[in-house]
Structure 1
Amino acid sequence: MVKRPTLTDLAHAAGVSIATVDRVINRRLPVSDDTAQRVVKAAERIGYHATSLLKRRIAETPVRKFGFLLQKRDAFYQNLGRELVQATKSAKEIEGKAILEFIEELVPAVVARRLRDIAPKVDALAVVAMDHPQINQAVDEIVARGKPVVTLLSQITTPSCKGHLGLDSRKCGRIAGWAISRMAKQEGRIGILVGSHRYLNQETSEISFRAYMREHAPQMQLLEPIINLDDERIAYEAVSGMLASYPDLAAIYVAGGGQDGLIKALRELTGQPRPVAVCNELTASTQAALIENVIDLALGTPVLPLALRTISHLTAACEEGRFTPQQTFLPPEIFVSENV
């Protein structure tokens, strides 16, 4: 009589522990999709009696672990991170697990290293990053190993990236131009701050802002953009310098981060008219600044819709042969003192 394969036989054939096989069968704890598939193939190979049950268990709800690599641990990214983690855990089509990490040092080599570090721990990855050869190379390597990577908020140019989700940056820039051309005095200089031109969303916002101002307020003089690395201290120094150098400064547009530095500099302003100010994101500090008329308009990211769409995108990207990379652009939210 042929001996029926046991659980021990299956574990040996699959090259995993008995506990791992038990987790696959009974779904006690998450098991990676690769490991679960290896157990199923081993079960088919040795004629394990519960092979059909194993297949059903795997088909029911796949376990997916998503990684999120966000930028500096400020209020906006903390909020975005919370929503991404919650959306992962709440997703109905998967048993989702999330790994959330922040990058304080936005040097391309550091970002590339952090990407390579987190990739082995997850099934798919979403990242906020600048467009740089070192980062693109890291993404290429990760995708080549079967781990989809998508970008959030700012795009990168490597073709291997499996999609992008963020704001419509062209609309952001033109909305800022629309607001400033109507609220600012009709002659004067306009200051512009960007985190880095390697953030393609910020580059697009600045270009679109300039295009709108050329069309609708050509009499206003736009200054060359100042790079602030999305750092509030650098932004504070930049805005303070502009205010001191240009008494006719009519407006300031912050196309990236560093809005807290803008707010601090404007709060300290005395002896000259306050310029119109447009910046990004509704946080506790920008909300207070809007209410107190320190700034005039904030363009916000709809964080919850972005998080939900990101999880759907990553889930689909994990389905081999059934996914086409795509870009999702959300309209910005508009906040003024009367709607916060």
Structure 2
Amino acid sequence: MDQRKRPTIKDVAAEAKVSVATVNRVLGGSDAVRQGTRERVMLAAEQIGFYGTGALRSRVAAARPRYKFGFLLHQPGRVFYRNTAEALRAAAQGVVDAEIDVRTEFLDDLSPQNIASRMLALGAECDAIGVVAAVHPLVIQAVDALHARNVPVFALISQISATGQVHYVGLDNWKVGRTAAWVFEHVCQAPGKLGILVGNHRYRCQEMNESGFRSYFREHAPGFTLLEPLPTFESSAIAQEMTEKLLTDNPDLSGLYVAGGGITGAIAALRASGRAGSLVVVGYEMMDVTREALLDGTLTFVIAHPLSRLANEVMAGMVRAVSAPNEGGNVTTILPFDIYTRENI
């Protein structure tokens, strides 16, 4: 096409492989054009520099369905959940067939009573909600109440229901635990004592982490001694205290598995004890503090959620759930986890 000629509606139609009438209907805001066709016409206009691209863009945006999705995440001071929130916002902006308004709340009070209350409040304002929560009758009751109001609930990171009644996007945590165990078997110089930290056993992800961890040793490495897990209650300060206790009570400790919240506290305790680098330590999530701990040898191995992919899957699942509620079906998406050592970051 002559570059000096201003592109016309006919040129847009040819580029998009649609009729001139279709382009005119998109420009006029007609409801008779499918959203996918509108998007194709807009992209074609952008590619050839059509003078009416701005009008097309506004028409396409106005035709998109609008949804409000709410998310309840853990404490705002935890970098992992701030990163999760940012990934969700980015994923919402990348949805091309709907306009998504994301509302995120960070909860300091992780009691079942507060989580259930905030779920119901958020569900009253949103088309669907996502939540990181422990399994508890009050939480399940809130899920049932929201479902009765046709508000889909998605469990993020940790499953709420073992029966698949609640949408879930996250990892296969039993496999995560077995992978962590494999590391200890292959990196420890000899079988020894292993400490375990969990945030709260009511989080199914952490319960499955520990279950998979123990099952691997029963099957492949029975010579290791697995100590009873110590709870951190998702607190960095408590994780630091529990790590200090493990190190004091077990001077012959060979390794530490941080199977739940509090990784920053565990790292701080290891460094303060002077034993950082002498133990095999497996923890979770890639962020500045774990990256530095891998580099200086405090951590041996990190297992992490692929946050961008998780967020994209959540958005796609929520859009499907609210746009076609009568289709039914449970959304369960098991993501591959990322693995980091000092040599691949």
TM range (shorter): 0.7 to 0.9
Cross-structure match for 1:331: 336
Cross-structure match for 2:18: none
Tell me the CA shift for residue 161 of structure 1: 4.6
Q: 1:294 to 1:158 in 2, by over 3 A?
A: closer
Q: 1:212 to 1:58 in 2, by over 3 A?
A: same
Cross-structure match for 1:127: 131
| TM-score normalised by length of structure 1 | 0.80
Tell me the CA shift for residue 89 of structure 1: 2.5
Contact 2:87 2:307 in 1 (8 A): yes
Tell me the CA shift for residue 195 of structure 1: 0.8
Equivalent of residue 197 in structure 1, options 176, 194, 201: 201
Letter in 1 for 2:240: Y
Contact 2:164 2:330 in 1 (8 A): no
Q: Secondary structure at the match of 1:268?
A: helix
Q: 1:290 to 1:115 in 2, by over 3 A?
A: same
Deviates more, 1:322-331 or 1:118-127: 322-331
Deviates more, 1:283-292 or 1:272-281: 272-281
The whole-number CA distance in structure 2 between the counterparts of 1:232 and 1:271 is: 19
Q: Secondary structure at the match of 1:121?
A: coil
Equivalent of residue 94 in structure 2, options 72, 87, 90: 90
Equivalent of residue 296 in structure 1, options 267, 285, 300: 300
Q: Percent identity?
A: 37
Tell me the CA shift for residue 146 of structure 1: 1.1
The whole-number CA distance in structure 2 between the counterparts of 1:178 and 1:314 is: 35
Contact 2:191 2:224 in 1 (8 A): yes
Tell me the CA shift for residue 238 of structure 1: 0.4
| Offset from partner CA, 1:166-208 (integer Å, 9 cap, x none) | 0111221011000011112323211011111110011111000
Deviates more, 1:155-164 or 1:246-255: 155-164
The whole-number CA distance in structure 2 between the counterparts of 1:254 and 1:279 is: 5
Alignment partner of 1:252 is 2:260: no
**How many pairs does the alignment contain?**
288
Q: 1:248 to 1:154 in 2, by over 3 A?
A: same
Contact 1:140 1:160 in 2 (8 A): no
Tell me the CA shift for residue 57 of structure 1: 9.3
Q: Which runs of 5+ in 1 are unaligned?
A: 1-24, 27-55
Q: 1:222 to 1:121 in 2, by over 3 A?
A: same
Letter in 2 for 1:233: A
Cross-structure match for 1:100: 104
Q: 1:336 to 1:62 in 2, by over 3 A?
A: same
Cross-structure match for 1:316: 320
Q: Secondary structure at the match of 2:124?
A: helix
Tell me the CA shift for residue 157 of structure 1: 2.0
The CA RMSD measured in Å over matched residues stands at 2.2
Q: Which runs of 5+ in 2 are unaligned?
A: 1-27, 30-58
After TM superposition, the structure 1 = structure 2 runs for residues 57-68 of structure 1, keeping only pairs within 5 Å, are: 60-68=63-71
The whole-number CA distance in structure 1 between the counterparts of 2:227 and 2:321 is: 42
Cross-structure match for 1:153: 157
Contact 2:270 2:276 in 1 (8 A): no
